Amino acid sequence: MPRGEPLRQLHDGFVPGRFVIDAYGRGGFRFAEMSHRGSILALPSGIHAWAVKSHLDFTAEAFAKVVAERQAIDVLLIGAGDAPYPPADEIRWTLRDAGIGLDVMTTGAAARTYNIMLAEGRRVAAALVAVD
């Protein structure tokens, strides 16, 4: 790492800052010059480890951090794995009530769309389920 740049560290499954997703697959993601095994939430505050393993784990609690940052998010992209499994109506309504738009797609499509929207300066977040 070049001299003078801060060292990025993972703190309890969290790395602060907005980063593009460099790669996905093999059960994890690459971002911020590091790799993470498992699912992630890419939020305005940073990238968080996410305990979700599949769309079957979509609960209101799983999306609580997204709702907590609602003031800085216009749209949430959900990368639901290998198929665009939508969350239950309860979660959809919770996000809608928080003023967060929702788009569900495969993890690969969501990661690519997130990178584009982030580069455009859009107020985007992503909930990405790890895929093999």
Could you name the CATH architecture of 14-128?
Answer: 3-Layer(aba) Sandwich (3.40)
Position 11 scores a pLDDT of 52
Position 13 scores a pLDDT of 82
For 41-82, what is each residue's pLDDT tens digit? 999 999 999 999 999 999 999 999 999 999 999 999 999 999
The CA distance from 90 to 67, in Å, is 13
The CA distance from 1 to 61, in Å, is 37
The CA distance from 55 to 73, in Å, is 21
pTM of the model: 0.90
For 88-110, what is each residue's pLDDT tens digit? 999 999 999 999 999 999 999 99
DSSP run (H or E) holding 112: helix 107-119
Domain boundaries, the chain: 14-128
- CA triple 66-14-112, angle to 5 deg: 65
E strand residue ranges, the chain:
14-16, 23-25, 28-31, 34-37, 39-43, 46-50, 75-79, 101-105, 124-128
